[in-house]
Structure 1
Amino acid sequence: MTDLSQNPCIICVAITGSLPTKENNPAVPITVAEQIESTHEAFEAGATIAHCHVRDDEGKPTSDPERFARLKEGLEKHCPGMIVQLSTGGRSGAGRTRGGMLPLSPDMASLSVGSNNFPTRVYENPPDLVDWLAAEMLTHGVKPEIEAFDLSHILQAAKMHRDGRIKDRPYVQFVMGVKNAMPADREVFDYYIHTVKRLFGADTPWCAAGIGADQITLNDWAISSGGHARTGLEDNVRIDRDRLAPSNAALVRRATDLCAKYGRPVATWQQARAILGLKMPATA
């Protein structure tokens, strides 16, 4: 087995998402204040990236830049040094409204470079919108996280990197377990890793996310394979088959336990920023 003791693991916490509600799990943070508090607990538990969506007054997903601004400000104040990653996902708006928060210049933002099926609809990412979002990220100094729901998305990210639409080496996250998209398949997962290393270099950092019951599976595969891990209530509201997760922090601690199992250190925010090539904040 590869020695993982010198390879710190970045843990990303996806705090809210667009779908989970208080009815699904009372711990899902909906308001900006709840999101800041929940993220602070997850930060103290070991998470160094906060993947963020915002909700409107009715708890529905939105891309409202003002709400993102308040959340970003609160996270920078209460979680100094934590990497703030804002979502440009399709459930929060249509067309260019999905990137309306990019002028806030967060550390990172999600970027889906192709379309795929979701449980009840098509997740549409047309080429012109992808190009616009990528250009906005370049303009505002935002590092994209490529959310790969399919092998073709990794190959498209490589093409965009070659022709300059993505600056620096892409950070790719494999998303597995979405109904009607890519299931949690170990051979596919291993081929994703092979493809990233072939296209971007053997030392390229990558991440993985599993949906629902597949969250712990993908955490295990990623941590034991030298990648980075995403957890949080956006993707999964349960701590096990019989119990709801009491908090985002509880899911983060479950991932840190896996790091301990494999003898792998949990990355500090300083290490996470160095691994991803992000600047250090002046106020942290």
Structure 2
Amino acid sequence: MHDDHLHPSLADGDGGDARWAFGTGFEDPLHGVDTTLPAHVDAAALAANCLALADDALIGAQRLAEWTTRAPELEEELALANIALDLLGQARLLYARCGQVDGSARDEDAYAYRRDAAEFRNVRLAELPNGDFAFTIARLLLLSTWRLAHLTRLAASADPVLAAVAAKGVKELAYHRQYAAEWTVRLGDGTEESHRRMHTTIAQVTPWLPELYAAYDAREEVGAVLAQVLDSAGLALPAAGPPLPGHGRNGEHTEHLAPLLAELQSVARAHPGATW
């Protein structure tokens, strides 16, 4: 096994303790932020971008939350739960911005609980069932690496709200990526069984990379990180195959999203208008 802190280069730019959720504890997730839309910003494009990024985060958070009481160890249960809370916080902020600029004045609950599967715009990798711990780690590595590259660019967005949300999210995603990278190496460079499982799951998640790149082309950044991590784990990217048909950004989803939403939305739909 290698040293516990496997990839110090991936943790460069540490902004302090940025590991915990920031999107909870207040009613208005954009309280105190100037939400005036700059005149030169396309409101429809901004709303679509915020909605897609929020859906990625919400669905990813829901899958990670499913590990509660099921993770291999208590420490990993807490880590996965806090990563889920980080993503949920990002989703709240992005939904709130979307409701301000798309003309609907909807709040984050309306986006999360009052839409059917075909209305969601998340990438499909986020909605796949958790599988074993190795699959969750491999998926988290891909999604966090890709999302980190995306939000790093958006930190310079012409919309000040999106720029602020992205800048905050970058600090969290750097930890998400580091967590996934370290576990990828521990499992890939561990026992024969853990290596086999990581090899299998890398082959399962990488066919979804073209969809990520179609949503935001970060192949250079993602490829460099994956090469570094997988090499340390004694693993390799499988040969690229044909792109999988469909695209979550177009509302084309797997059969797994509808059941996930049914569970996520059950209480809110059973008690419309209720508040907690």
Q: Is the TM-score greater than 0.5?
A: no
Higher helix share: 2
Larger Rg: 2
Higher strand share: 1
Q: TM-score, normalised by structure 1?
A: 0.31
In the superposition, the TM-score normalised over structure 2's length comes to 0.31
